[in-house]
Amino acid sequence: MTIRAALLLAQGFEDAEAIMTLDILNRLGIEVDTISCETSTQLKSYHHVTVVAKRQIDACLDEFYDAIILPGGPEGTQRLAACSHALNWIAAHDHQQKIVAALCSAPARVLGGNQLLKGRHYVCSGDLWQHCTDGSAKNRCSALLGTRPCAGRQSTVERPSLCVFWRFVAALH
């Protein structure tokens, strides 16, 4: 059985959180589709690196992945938080108890800012938790949406990426 993950990208996504997660999950045998939440598949990261996403979100709305991954980035998370297609798609995955993994600022900005945490624990960067009225901020990798997701801000992105992988393994066994 192939495990599939969707990496949602918007202009200004955080480079390392997206690219390292993509690399690690691919190396672990997880099929990762990069999905643009913009009108173009060509996106610029927080550090102005141009990336071409595999698909646009409009083409994916009727599909379910095993997981959705939301990288951080100040502009990227603001744009994801304002994308109704992305928010509805995330909510649908949550309803199906799929993994929703949000990194850095994404838990507070994208999920909490749109009442998608539903009181669940989350980890985020900086003081964004102070502006989030949905969910409960924690200081470690913790459950987010569905029954098996993971999100967090660590000193490196490897820990959340591997956390997502191990949640996949646990979910499939």
pLDDT exceeds cutoff 90 at 127: no
Structure tokens at 135: 């969910």
Q: Percentage of the chain surpassing pLDDT 70?
A: 70
Which pLDDT score is estimated for 1?
Answer: 74
Which pLDDT score is estimated for 79?
Answer: 97
- Number of residues assigned to the chain: 173
Interstrand relation of 67-70 and 99-102 (parallel, antiparallel or unpaired)? parallel
Which pLDDT score is estimated for 154?
Answer: 38
Mean pLDDT, to the nearest integer, of 85-93?
Answer: 96
Higher pLDDT, 1 or 167: 1
pLDDT digits (tens, 9 = 90+) for 96-106: 989 888 888 88
pLDDT digits (tens, 9 = 90+) for 133-172: 766 666 554 434 443 334 444 333 445 555 655 665 566 4
Query: Is residue 82 packed enough to be buried (19+ CB in 10 Å), middle (13-18) or exposed (0-12)?
Result: middle
Which pLDDT score is estimated for 39?
Answer: 96
Structure tokens at 124: 């985020």
Which pLDDT score is estimated for 28?
Answer: 83
Structure tokens at 150: 């993971």
Beta bridge partners of 31: 4
Q: Average pLDDT, whole number, for the chain?
A: 81
Distances (CA, A) of 129 to 77, 109, 142, 169: 14, 9, 14, 30
pLDDT exceeds cutoff 90 at 89: yes
This prediction has a pTM of 0.81
pLDDT digits (tens, 9 = 90+) for 40-81: 999 999 999 999 999 999 999 999 999 999 999 999 999 999
Query: Around 128, how many Cα atoms within 13 Å sit in the side-chain half-sphere?
Result: 27
Strand extents, DSSP E, 15-143: 31-36, 42-44, 50-52, 55-56, 67-70, 99-102, 121-122, 136-137
Tally of CB atoms within 10 A around 147: 10
